[in-house]
Amino acid sequence: MSEMIVNKLTGKTSAGDIDVVSEGGNATMQLQQGLAKAWVNFVGTGTVSINNSLNVASLTDNGTGDYSVSFSSSMANTNWSSQVDTNYEALGLHSIYRATNNSGRTKTTSQVQLSGKNYRHSVSDRNSPLDVGELMNTINGDLA
């Protein structure tokens, strides 16, 4: 096995373009495009806190079911892709979370806004904002 120890990878022809050969050997893709540029696992109830993260500077609790995650290094534009999921222990408590421009806070190059609501039919507070014990968010796209 060969091993390369480096601190920084830079494309030779174009600094931001390093190609890798596909698994099938018939295509190439940009290494940078396949990498998550930020991800975070955090506690969303009580005093919010970050369990683990990449490229995340801070987490803000904006209110019930409403969080902002700020990036350490900004994205190049606002066309990034976000996936968000939750971890529930109590299956009777359903929710859906999404990246949003909630409460007038617009999607920017430096943060993602996450908001969630109760998703059950049988409760009076259906569609009400809901805090969740553990949230997980991943961002793909172009870094600045």
- For 32, the 3-state DSSP assignment is helix
Please state, in angstroms and rounded to a whole number, the distance separating the CA atoms of residues 48 and 114. Answer: 13
24 in contact with other proteins (CB under 8 A): no
52 in contact with other proteins (CB under 8 A): yes
Tell me how far, at minimum, the Cβ of 7 lies from other proteins, in Å: 4
Phi first, then psi: give them for residue 33, nearest 5 degrees: -70, -20
108 in contact with other proteins (CB under 8 A): no
Nearer to other proteins, 7 or 104 (CB): 7
Block residue for tokens 């050969």: 21
Give the torsion sign (CA, 86, 90, 91, 92). negative
Residues contributing to the site for other proteins (CB under 8 A): 1-9, 12-13, 19, 31-32, 34-37, 39-41, 51-52, 54-55, 83-89, 91-92, 94-96, 119-122, 126, 136-138, 143
